Structure 1
Amino acid sequence: MLRYDYAPALAFLEPHDWEAIHPRLEAAQKMLLEHTGPGHEMLGWRELLRKPDDALLEMLDATAAEIREQADVFLCLGIGGSYLGARAVIEALTPSFRHLAPTPEILFAGHHLSGSYLKALLNYLEGKSVYLNVVSKSGTTLETMLAFRVLRPWMEARFPDASRRILVTTDPAHGRLLEMARTYGYPRFAIPPNVGGRFSVLTAVGLLPIAVAGVDIRSLFYGAVETCERLSNPLDNPALNYAALRYLLYERGYALELLAVFEPRLSGIGAWWQQLFGESEGKQGKGLYPDTVQYSTDLHSLGQYVQEGRRHLIETFLMVEREPDPLLVPDTGDDLDGLAYLSGRSFQEINRIAYEGTRKAHAEGGVPVSTIWLEHLSPNALGACLYFFMHAVAISGYLLGVNPFDQPGVEAYKREMYRLLGHA
């Protein structure tokens, strides 16, 4: 279902490096599996896969089915892990042009502080049947709760059943948002206390909007379950290999990792991955800076730098093996565009060749490259991909000697922001 090809990058290491890292790699894996490492109290994202809650999946599916029947728009309010995972999976697994889909349009807000965006959003929503899902574990996330402060009265003024149309996903026991849900009778879903935001895509945080979009959340979830079981074995473990390679290259002075996709629908996975690795590793002056690029588009902007710029970056490709019903290049009966030699070949084949050429050129230009291969673009494969990255970043954090499950630096900007806003 998922394989990891890191052979080209081994040329950038010494022969003994790979063997030397294995004792530390095994120790990191043991800390993760036995809950003995830093932040072990936040490993609920693994526990929910080891003990699947089928009743929750059924409830989410039933709620999503009701919303699909009645809504034109399903509006998700959240920031960071409260929306990135859901958006990534929806973009990857639903039609690029959503008006062709027999499900509500999925929109996102509450992930920035733009008043002009909210005004435009309200104008767009006018006259539509809207359901709203506000997601915040603490219930105090400024961007999300400000958007909710605008949208809650808008919903109440237009829908007599607004208290049924507003759904809350938050901490099950504490917080302002939970208090509001209880006060107004909003349907609510729990964010497990032992699951951090960037690891929450396989909880109600991500699964509810993903289900509303018409994606098979059971297949998504059980793709992660199967991969969790597979990656508990240290043998032939792609997540351990990925974490080890990144760490060894980091120790050799590499400072930045690019996650490169050749399928535009995977760009959202890149954005989710960027938060996952940035917040998990970027502590105590450590960690690779994570960035994401979409090829071949970005080969015409950043490609020059990747090929010949400063040699401080590594590159990981996220690729799909097979595409159903590929589009073929038509035979137009002439060669005025000079592309007749491609007639009859599929865009998937051409895209694959573009990847192979890019990988070879970048490796020869001094960039360590590796590739994560998904068998196909499906809910099951996406579930495997999500868990693969979560397992890998936990191991990577332990190799770095940091707690991969906290984010103390995020609180620093919040303190200054709230001080300047006059919040006591």
Structure 2
Amino acid sequence: KALRDMLFDEKNNQRELFILDNTSSHSFSRTLEKIKLEESLFLIISKTGSTIEVVSLFKLLIEHFKLDIQELKKYFIFITDKDSKLHKEGENLGIKCFFIPENVGGRFSILSAVGIVPLCFCGYNAKALLEGAKACFEDFFIHKKDEILQKAYHYCTHKSASINVLFSYSDAFKGFNEWYIQLIAESLGKKQGYKRIG
């Protein structure tokens, strides 16, 4: 969602991407009103393969479109861990699976099959995106070019500031902001007893 919002180009975008990320019957029904089954491909994405919301949405889609088991491989692709429950289900049903690397956590998987496969299906240049990400990584971690970023990182990690502010002055970054908030909350918002971690 974050990548789609940032990269969206109305002129060049040939396919629509709808994202069902919760089990709200209202948003589910509103989204499905816009979808023609014969023109659609559904990507079921869960790292563990057992995320209850994702499994529920998969079952709701089957029920809504009254699909037979033999038809599922025509309309669905799974993106998950190798040997996960979802992968095994995909093998049983003949559904194509793309895998998330073992060493990549779900919330960090935006540049894995989780983000790249949907972008490719929508006609985006995923190769250019990955090359740009690689160049950023090399500039920062290998060539040590970004002194300002390094100083900001050092300052943030060596001060006891408890407030983190992210400003984005474009609607295109709304999805990114939501992802960033989720990332911070899930990664650093945990507690051990009464002590907050992070």
Deviation at 1:171, TM superposition (A): 0.9
Does 2:166 match 1:259? yes
Whole-angstrom CA distance in 2 between matches of 1:156 and 1:162: 10
Deviation at 1:165, TM superposition (A): 2.2
Deviation at 1:91, TM superposition (A): 0.7
Determine if contact 2:3/2:176 at 8 Å carries over to the other structure: yes
Letter in structure 2 aligned against 1:89: L
Distance 1:212 1:238, change over 3 A: farther
Letter in structure 1 aligned against 2:55: M
Deviation at 1:188, TM superposition (A): 0.7
Determine if contact 2:44/2:76 at 8 Å carries over to the other structure: yes
Determine if contact 1:94/1:213 at 8 Å carries over to the other structure: no
Secondary structure, aligned partner of 2:111? coil
Structure 2 counterpart of 1:145, from 55, 59, 63: 55
Does 2:91 match 1:182? yes
Deviations 1:71-96 (A, max 9, x none): xxxxxxxxxxxxxxxx111111113x
Deviation at 1:191, TM superposition (A): 0.8
Identify, as 1 or 2, the structure richer in strand: 1
Partner in structure 2 of residue 70 of structure 1 = none
Distance 1:92 1:236, change over 3 A: closer
Determine if contact 1:103/1:212 at 8 Å carries over to the other structure: no
Does 2:131 match 1:217? no
Whole-angstrom CA distance in 2 between matches of 1:101 and 1:161: 31
Quote the sequence identity (%).
24
Distance 1:183 1:280, change over 3 A: same
Whole-angstrom CA distance in 1 between matches of 2:13 and 2:196: 48
Deviations 1:232-285 (A, max 9, x none): 245644443232222344x1xx32222111121122221222223332333451
Partner in structure 2 of residue 89 of structure 1 = 3
TM value normalised by structure 2: 0.85
Does 2:21 match 1:107? no
Whole-angstrom CA distance in 1 between matches of 2:93 and 2:68: 16
Deviations 1:207-240 (A, max 9, x none): 0111222221111101111122122245644443
Segments of 5+ residues of structure 1 without an aligned counterpart are 1-86, 288-424
Secondary structure, aligned partner of 1:257? coil
Whole-angstrom CA distance in 2 between matches of 1:230 and 1:213: 29
Secondary structure, aligned partner of 1:169? strand
Segments of 5+ residues of structure 2 without an aligned counterpart are none
Higher-Rg structure is 1
Distance 1:207 1:225, change over 3 A: same
Partner in structure 1 of residue 43 of structure 2 = 133
Letter in structure 2 aligned against 1:136: S
Distance 1:241 1:171, change over 3 A: same
Aligned length: 193
Whole-angstrom CA distance in 1 between matches of 2:64 and 2:158: 53
Secondary structure, aligned partner of 1:261? coil
Distance 1:119 1:236, change over 3 A: closer
Structure 1 counterpart of 2:157, from 239, 247, 252: 247
Distance 1:220 1:149, change over 3 A: same
Letter in structure 1 aligned against 2:189: G
Distance 1:237 1:279, change over 3 A: farther
Determine if contact 1:90/1:213 at 8 Å carries over to the other structure: no
Whole-angstrom CA distance in 1 between matches of 2:14 and 2:145: 42
Secondary structure, aligned partner of 1:245? helix
The within-5 A match list for 1:20-169 is 87-95=1-9, 101-109=12-20, 111-126=21-36, 129-155=39-65, 157=67, 161-169=71-79
Does 2:101 match 1:192? yes
Over 6 Å off, 4+ runs: none
Letter in structure 2 aligned against 1:104: R
Structure 1 counterpart of 2:184, from 268, 277, 280: 277
Structure 1 counterpart of 2:116, from 207, 213, 224: 207
Determine if contact 1:156/1:162 at 8 Å carries over to the other structure: no
Deviation at 1:160, TM superposition (A): 7.5
Secondary structure, aligned partner of 1:205? helix
